[in-house]
Amino acid sequence: MARKPRVVIPENPGELMKLTGLIYAHHQQLGAKSPLAVLASPTWDEIGPDVDKALATQVRIEALEKELKTLYGERDPFLGQFTDLDRRSRDLLLALYAANPAKLGEFGFEVIEAVAPVAGKKPPKP
C-alpha cells in the first residue's frame, strides 16, 4: 500500500507568506473553476485582498532585516574595544571610589550593593 504524501505548511512566516501568495494567485487564475472555491468562510475571495497587503509587508520586513544585518556588521567591530574600555574604566573608578562605589552610578554604571553576611550565619549550600 502506497504511503500518503506529506505536504508541508511552512512555519516560517516569510515562507508561509510566499506559499499563501502562490495559492491565491493560482486560485485567481482558475477563477470559478478553482477547486478552492468550495471552502467555507473565511474564503480565498474574502481574505484574498489581504494577501497582497501582507506580502508587501513581508517584502518590507525582509528588506529591513537585510539592512539590520548591515547595521550589525557596522556596529559589531567596535564592541570588543568598548567592552575592554568599559571594564578598565570600571576598575579604575572602583579603585578611586573604593569608599563609595555608588559614585560609579554617575558614570552610568549599574551598581548593586552587596549585603554584608550576618555573623554566625552560614550561607546555604548549593
Task: List, for residues 93-104, the tens digit of each pLDDT value.
Answer: 999 999 999 999
Residue 120's SS3 state is: coil
The whole-angstrom separation of Cα 82 and Cα 6 is 51
The whole-angstrom separation of Cα 80 and Cα 28 is 54
Q: Residue 71 phi/psi, 5° resolution? A: -65, -40
Neighbours of 24 (CB within 10 A): 20
Distances (CA, A) of 49 to 13, 22, 88: 18, 14, 58
Query: CB–CB of 24/44 below 8 Å?
Result: yes
Instruction: Give me the pLDDT at residue 123, please.
Output: 65
Instruction: Give me the pLDDT at residue 55, please.
Output: 92
- Mean pLDDT of all residues in 32-55: 91
pLDDT in tens, 10-19: 999 999 999 9
